[in-house]
Amino acid sequence: MESLTVLLFGKDMTFYDLLEAQAAAAVRAAETFHALSQDFAHSAEHIHALDEIEHEADELTHQLARRTDTTFVTPLDKEDLQKLSSNLDDVTDAIEAAAARIAIYRLTAPRPDIEPLVRLLVEITQAVHEAVGALRHGRDRNALQPRFIRIHEIENESDTCFRKALTDLFDTPNPDPLMVIKWKEIYDRIESAVDKCEDVANVVESVVVKYA
């Protein structure tokens, strides 16, 4: 049975467990999508795995929300917990939505642009996982700064890769307009997932500043 002191006075480390589990789910989603980007022949299996990860991430979000509502004093401000949890869930949702479009649009072969984009997505989710995991061990801004810098660097790399992917897509000789629309939507959702990762990093950084 949980101690009443834990619930009332903010010593409950489960909040960190749940946030880290959400960040880990985002990493697994990105890694599964990366596997899909290189293996369209088994897209159905990869997309099913992503759907399972997305459901798991939703349940983690609900668990954290319920625990926040029933705990008098939380380790972080409730608003910060909600922002972190919501943004982490948005990352996984965007990844699952991007991959699902491959099945919905019946795409049978990848474009060369997608693997580099998703590889950067894997890198940024891993960096975010590290940043979220560091919260429970202290909030030294100087110690965390290299992680924040790396996340912003990856986001900038992704922006460049995203623009190149769009340029190559629109410069395809005699392009099929429907295919252009389909791939652009997938690229947009990958970019959205990357942007959400940066949003998570910004919240973590603001928490570090607040509690410094």
DSSP string, the chain: ---HHHHHHT--THHHHHHHHHHHHHHHHHHHHHHHHT-GGGHHHHHHHHHHHHHHHHHHHHHHHHHHHH-SS-SS-HHHHHHHHHHHHHHHHHHHHHHHHHHHTT--S--TTHHHHHHHHHHHHHHHHHHHHHGGG---HHHHHHHHHHHHHHHHHHHHHHHHHHHHHHTSSS--HHHHHHHHHHHHHHHHHHHHHHHHHHHHHHHHHHH-
pLDDT, one tens digit per residue, over 56-115 is 999 999 999 999 998 888 888 999 999 999 999 999 999 999 999 999 999 999 999 999
Q: What average pLDDT does this structure show over 122-140?
A: 89
pLDDT at 52 over 50: yes
Q: What ranges do the domains of the chain cover?
A: 4-211
The fold of 4-211 is: Methane Monooxygenase Hydroxylase; Chain G, domain 1 (1.20.58)
pLDDT value, residue 126: 97
pLDDT, one tens digit per residue, over 4-30 is 334 434 467 899 999 999 999 999 999
Q: Which residue has the higher pLDDT, 42 or 13?
A: 42
